Amino acid sequence: MKHTLFILQIFLFSIVFGQKKNTEKLQFEFEVDSIELHVGETKELTIKLLNEDGDLSKNSFYVFGQRRALSVSPRTSDSTGIATVTVKAHKPGRLRLSVQSITVKRDDRVRDKLVVNVPFPPIDHIVFNQTPRKLYTETSTSFSVEVIDEAGLTRENADVKLKSSNTAVADFDIFGNLETKRTGRVTVSATAEGVTEQYNIRVVKNPVRSVTLSAEKDEIRTGDVLVLNATALNRSDRAIDDAPITYSYIGQADYGKFGLPAAGLVTDDGRFIAETAGLYTLIASSGGYSAQKTIKVVPRNVQKKAKLVGHGLISDVLTSDLWVWAGVDKHEGKDFAVTGTWGSNGEAYFWDVTNPDSMIIIDTITVDARTVNDVKISEDGRVGVITREGASNRKNGFVILDVSNPYNVTISAEYNDDMTGGVHNVFIYENHVYAVNNGRKYDIINIDDPKNPFRVGVYEMDTPGHSIHDVWIENGIAYSSNWSDGVVAVDIGGMKFDEADRSQSQFNPLLAKAGQGSPSNPIKLAEMGDPTGRNHAAFPFLSKSTGNFYIVGGDENFPWGVRATRGEPSNPRGGFHFLNFTDPENPKEDAVYQVPEAGSHNMWIFGDVLIAGNYQGGLRIVDISGELLGDIYNQGREIAVYQSSHKEGKIPNAPMVWGAQPYKDYIFFADMNSGLYCIQLEDLEKGPGAP
Residue 66 belongs to domain with CATH number: 2.60.40.10
Residue 255 placed within a domain: yes
Tell whether 291 and 219 lie within a shared domain: yes
Residue type, 401: L
Please indicate, yes or no, whether residues 172 and 29 belong to a single structural domain of this protein.
Answer: no
**Pairwise CA distance, residues 235 & 224, whole Å:** 35
Same domain? 511 vs 605: yes
Query: For the whole prediction, is pTM greater than 0.85?
Result: yes
What's the DSSP call for residue 509?
G
Domain annotation covers residue 11? no
| Phi then psi dihedrals of residue 6, to 5 deg | -65, -45
CATH number for the domain harbouring residue 255: 2.60.40.1080
Q: Is the peptide bond before 74 cis (omega within 30 degrees of 0)?
A: yes
Clarify whether residues 38 and 91 are in a common domain. yes
* In-domain check, residue 405: yes
In this structure, the answer to whether residues 401 and 502 fall within a common structural domain is: yes
Model pLDDT for residues 299-314, shown as the tens digit of each residue: 999 999 999 999 999 9
**Does 563 reside within a domain?**
yes
DSSP 133: S
pLDDT of 506 reads: 62
* 290 and 415 both lie in a single domain: no
pLDDT at residue 2 greater than cutoff 50: no
Q: For 87-116, write each residue's pLDDT tens digit.
A: 999 999 999 999 999 888 888 899 999 999
Please name which of 45, 100, 112, 95 lies closest in space to residue 76, comparing C-alpha atoms: 100
Model confidence at 157, pLDDT cuts 50, 70, 90, reads confident
Q: Is residue 18 in some structural domain?
A: no
Q: What is the pLDDT of residue 221?
A: 98
**Residue that is last in its domain, among 281, 298, 315:** 298
Model confidence over 551-605: pLDDT tens digits? 999 999 999 888 887 888 899 999 999 999 999 999 999 999 999 999 999 999 9
Residue 109 domain flag: yes
The CA distance from 291 to 293, in Å, is 7
Same domain, 88 and 152: no
Q: So what's the pLDDT on residue 503? A: 53
pLDDT for position 499: 52
Q: How many domains does the chain have?
A: 4
In the prediction, which pLDDT does 256 show?
59
Q: In this structure, are 226 and 174 located in the same domain?
A: no
pLDDT over threshold 80, residue 687: no
**CA angle, residues 471, 394, 560, in degrees to nearest 5:** 60
Query: Percentage of the chain with pLDDT > 70?
Result: 93
The answer to the question of residue 691 being in a domain is: no
Do 402 and 276 fall within a single domain? no
Report the pLDDT averaged over residues 661-690: 86
Residue 265 lies in a domain: yes
Residues 242, 365, single domain; the answer is: no
Domain that holds residue 160: 123-204
- The CATH number covering residue 580 comes to 2.130.10.10
- What are the DSSP E strand ranges found in 403-522? 410-415, 423-429, 432-437, 441-446, 454-459, 470-474, 477-481, 487-491
| Three-state SS letters, 3-57 | HHHHHHHHHHHHHHHHHHHHCCCCEEEECCCEEECCCCCEEEEEEEEECCCCCEC
Question: Which among 118, 149, 166 is the end of a domain?
Answer: 118
Residue 482 sits in the same domain as residue 361: yes
For 520-537, what is the mean pLDDT?
95
* Arithmetic mean of pLDDT over the chain: 92
Amino acid 502: pLDDT: 55
Backbone angles phi, psi at 107, to 5 degrees: -70, -10
Please give the pLDDT value at position 498.
Answer: 57
Beta sheet of 289-298, edge-to-edge order: 219-221, 289-298, 278-286, 246-253
433 and 560 inside one domain:
yes
Domain boundary (298, 332, 357) is at: 298
pLDDT tens digits along 214-263: 999 999 999 999 999 999 999 999 999 999 999 999 999 987 566 678 99
